[in-house]
Amino acid sequence: MVFSTAQQRHRSSQGAGDLFGHPRGLTFLFATEMWERFSYYGMRALLVLYMVKLLLLPGHAENVIGLTTLRSWFESMTGPLGVQPFSSHIYGLYTGLVYLTPVFGGMLADRVLGQHRTIVLGAAMMAIGHFMMAFESLFLLALTMLILGNGAFKPNMSAQVGGLYGRGDPRRDRAYSIFYVGINLGAFLAPLVCGTLGEQLGWHYGFSAAGIGMTIALAIYLYAMPELPPDELHKARAAGIENKPLRRSERRGILALIALFVPTTLFWATYEQQGNTIVLWADDHTDRAIDLILWHGEIPVTWFQAFNPFMIFAFTPLVVGLWAWQAKQGKEPSTVTKMSIGCFGVTLANLIMVAAAWQAAGDEASWLWLLGYFVVITIGELYLSPIGLSLVSKVAPARMVSMLMGVWLATSFAGNLIAGWLGSFWAGMDKTMFFLMIAGIAFVAGAVILAFDRPLKSAIGD
């Protein structure tokens, strides 16, 4: 009964006073997602380095439950694997499954548990999983807990943002941009805290810090329950529309999302090199020495993972302001055009790395090349990722919104699997050609999305 009581309290609180022009629930969803992303990106910043520098080395790998079986499975498809290619495959499999399970988490919420219970279940599983990462032998079991927990948590959090607003409310797009800042505020702090603890004090300290972050997220969400919208499952049952067939307009919207699935997958395959091969570039091929007035030394490898999220919340007001100015001029790009620009941003970012690899010629390149890479890829991300979330909340039938949000997030599943496969070429490939390959894939994705612009405008209502 606690959930239905919370929903009644939420209904009675509506109109009691917004915060900064948005429902108060957005603030709590912002904070919950911020700490959840702190835990995810804190662990991710350490994952590849942890495997390459410790876990997969002789004397440690033998202690990990199930690792020998996993290696045999990969090697049955690829042949013998060294430490770096094996770590890249594990990274790709983990980050891929993190974005596949939301499909099932969305279905669980839409059909059985409702969004609130599913989120609480997922948050608890992730907190346990992060603390399990502190034990070498439980590594694969911990990743499994994180994968399943994220599947329950992620699509329902994103869907609940849209649930705070009525159909046609112009604040919805801005709300997702604000929510996206929360995601990246957590992602910015994560490498600085978890990464520093992991590199300086020990890997397990970094993983435990991620667990503490996830526990804070769970506590905030439980406290915020009265401010959150009722579950879509309960609203659909009350209205008697739970099992009604889809209307023609609803089917068109779903088909529009499916049409954008493949090129968006290619976007994530190229974008997600940040946590994989870009980490290795920063570690092995970057001159990280910095000499400033207030600080001298070498930039830790994990700190580069903070560049992108910092720029997200620095650039978001500028990008949103640009769109507002373009709207007044009648020149704001369509939703699909914005998404294609996002892909072209990833293309340009990797061309910067082509220039860095060419200039270094096998030696170390300045860290400023990576700074330029992150500036451009961040702008590209702002044109695609939050726009995609808002798009789903607009066109998805309310009784299917969590499941379709999960389907949309599954583009990252396929993208991360491809990203892991592409990353396995890193060790044996010329770095200039590697970055050129990634740039070419991102360009193809942008061109395909742009080709869908006019056909999908009516289906999307753009």
Distance, CA of 177 to CA of 282 (rounded, Å): 29
**140-186 pLDDT tens trace:** 999 999 999 999 998 888 888 877 877 767 677 777 878 888 888 88
CA nearest to 92, candidates 275, 343, 281, 266: 275
Distance, CA of 450 to CA of 456 (rounded, Å): 10
The CATH code of domain 22-235+247-460 reads: 1.20.1250.20
The amino acid sitting at 27 is T
pLDDT attached to residue 243: 62
User: Is residue 91 pLDDT above 80, yes or no?
Assistant: yes
CA torsion 363-82-346-433 (nearest 10°) is: 50
CA nearest to 369, candidates 274, 292, 287: 287
Mean pLDDT over all residues of the chain?
84
User: Is residue 330 pLDDT above 90, yes or no?
Assistant: no
Helices (H), 225-306: 232-239, 248-259, 261-271, 277-284
Q: Using the Cα atoms of residue 247, residue 249, residue 253 and residue 256 in order, give the sign of their dihedral.
A: positive
For Cα atoms 202, 203, 204, give the angle at the middle one, nearest 5 degrees.
95
Rg (CA), the chain: 22
For Cα atoms 165, 168, 174, give the angle at the middle one, nearest 5 degrees.
60
Distance, CA of 242 to CA of 398 (rounded, Å): 10
CA nearest to 405, candidates 190, 195, 107: 107
Distance, CA of 14 to CA of 212 (rounded, Å): 32
Banded model confidence at residue 1, pLDDT cuts 50, 70, 90:
very low
User: Is residue 411 pLDDT above 60, yes or no?
Assistant: yes
User: Is residue 318 pLDDT above 60, yes or no?
Assistant: yes
CA nearest to 373, candidates 278, 301, 263: 278
Distance, CA of 29 to CA of 102 (rounded, Å): 18
**117-138 pLDDT tens trace:** 999 999 999 999 999 998 999 9
Q: Average of pLDDT values for 373-389? A: 91
